[in-house]
A and B are shown apart, each in its own frame.
Chain A
Amino acid sequence: MNKRDFLNELKKNLKYMSDEEKEDILQDYSLHYAEGASDQKSEDTISRKLGDPKEIAKELNAENAIQKVEEQKNIKSISNAVLSIMGLGVMNFMLVIASLFFILIFSPVILLFVVGVPIMLVSPVILVVMGFVNGFHTLGWPEVYEVIRLLAIGSVLAVVGYYIARAFMKLFIHLLKWNIAMVKGRGLM
């Protein structure tokens, strides 16, 4: 494999990153070839020693995707990380599935939060709407107290939920990193 083919193959397999990042990576390898050339090495020899560009790209994708999750915790970055780690190999695939299953067990609690807390927080609005719809004479102090109570509980749960979610995210990132570490460099060395 010559330099051009190696770099093309590498570029083709790099995912979930900016063009800038890709160029930066290609630059590193391109320089390696240049140094190798002044070291009297043929492009074929250099390529052979570098290894499979596909495998190198997979490694870089997974590293990069995890980095992104740490910077911006959104669905897109998380799914990219999960997918890229799965791509590393069968063993990683199994580990990721196990991690996801773990998350799934907690999903009823998560759902309860996601649905319940917002309802609690907008309960005053609901009360006012009901007032308009059914006439305000139907609403007494008990309903008002109930709404205040819901609002208080909802606020507490929202704060607690936020911290739980943050801890959970940390744990998840940890799991992903562990996934990579477990099977690090397999087939690469």
Chain B
Amino acid sequence: MNVQFKKGVLELVVLLIINQNDEYGYSLVKKISNRMDITEGTVYPILRRLVKEEYVTTYQQASADGPSRKYYRITSIGKKKLRALTSEWKEFTHIIDFFIRESDQNEQT
């Protein structure tokens, strides 16, 4: 996937995943990298920022094997932020789609 496209979208993707279920860092990174090719280390700075901006909170939970895990949970302002980002994204893709259709039509004529 194009590098330019991935910039700025990662924050939205992180929020979308955490919105469904609380996640610990490693599982979140895995869920993203299964679908898109990312530099995994960049997810943690994004998580830190989301926590600082209070869109996400953290809590510790013991795991069956290995060390205790740091889970991330979306907050109510996080949900609000997610709604805003989602509608911005839809609006954006809507516009791009329009131009793609227009360009396709012109190629056919």
Contacts and interface: CB of A to CB of B under 8 A. Distances in A.
Interface string B27-50: 101000100001111101101110
A39 interface: yes
A52 to B, nearest CB: 8
A54 B88 CA distance: 32
A121 B69 CA distance: 58
A51 B49 contact: no
A39 B45 CA distance: 22
A34 interface: yes
Interface of A: 25, 28-29, 31-32, 34-39, 49-53, 55-56, 59-60, 63, 67, 181, 184-186, 188-189
Interface string B66-94: 11011000000000000000000000000
A36 B24 CA distance: 12
B45 A32 contact: no
Contacts of A36: 26
Q: Taking chain B's interface residues, is the majority helix, strand, or loop, or is none over half, making it mixed?
A: helix
B42 A59 contact: yes
A128 to B, nearest CB: 51
A189 B45 contact: no
Interface of A is mostly: helix
A38 B49 contact: no
B7 A184 contact: yes
A189 B26 contact: no
Nearest to B67: A34
Given A31-B70, A189-B6, A51 B42 contact: yes
Contacts of A189: 3, 6-7, 10, 38-39, 42
B40 A50 contact: yes
Contacts of A52: 41
Given A38-B65, A188-B39, A189-B3, A32 B8 contact: no
A185 B7 contact: yes
Contacts of A55: 41
A18 to B, nearest CB: 14
B66 A51 contact: no
A29 B70 CA distance: 11
A31 B69 contact: yes
A28 B44 contact: yes
B66 A185 contact: no
A34 B26 CA distance: 9
Contacts of A50: 39-41
Contact of A56 (B42, B49, B52, B69): B42
